[in-house]
Structure 1
Amino acid sequence: MTVGDNNLTIRIGPDELVIRQRYQVLSIINDVLIGIWFLIGSFMFFSDEWVFTGTCLFVLGSVEMLIRPVIRLIRHLHLQKIRGPETPTTDSTYDF
């Protein structure tokens, strides 16, 4: 589909939709796990006996926070491979 001089190209194939949905689910699961680790870790700080375990959960949550940009990067590279280098990749609608 081309519109005026801007050459708006819309390509949404079934493969791209499936890829986007899978990465979106991975990102949501990762975000939920981050919340769980930090919430449980926070409660563990109320007891001196559980401080070490709570700290470990905070470290785990921090590692998962680093996983989120890795998921985005892998998704970007995967879609780039499917679309090809000639397709612009400025779409941030599904930036998860």
Structure 2
Amino acid sequence: MKVGHHDLFFKKPYQILYTLNDILLGLWFFIGSICFYFEGTVKTWGVTLFVIGSFQLLIRPTIRLVHRIHLKKYYKEEYEQKQ
């Protein structure tokens, strides 16, 4: 099945979102891990960054799901004609 330039049109923004999310996720866990070497407020920031990172782990499959739903809606007529 040839999707052509439409695949790049839809796929690229979602790949950028997915990659940006992964970079931020790694950054939060890395900084959070360093914060655990210290006590007090810095350790609290570490826990907060772990919570943010955990939430971003939920965002990853959501980005993929939204991308697939968006593609399906866009190509709905083409799919219906083939069946």
Secondary structure (helix, strand or coil) at the match of 1:48 reads: coil
RMSD: 1.4
For 2:9 and 2:53, how far apart are their aligned partners in 1?
28
User: What count of residue pairs does the alignment treat as equivalent?
Assistant: 78
| Unmatched segments (≥5 aa) in structure 2 | none
Structure 1 equivalent of residue 8 of structure 2: 17
Structure 2 equivalent of residue 81 of structure 1: 73
For 2:4 and 2:69, how far apart are their aligned partners in 1?
17
Structure 2 equivalent of residue 28 of structure 1: 19
Kept after mapping to 2: 8 A contact 1:37/1:60: yes
Runs (4+) of structure 1 moved beyond 4 Å?
A: none
Q: Which has the higher helix share?
A: 2
Structure 2 equivalent of residue 91 of structure 1: none
The Cα of 1:12 is off from its aligned counterpart by 1.3
Structure 1 equivalent of residue 45 of structure 2: 53
Letter in 1 for 2:66: I
2:64 to 69, 72, 83: 72
The Cα of 1:83 is off from its aligned counterpart by 1.4
Structure 2 equivalent of residue 43 of structure 1: 34
Over the matched positions of the two proteins, sequence identity in percent amounts to: 40
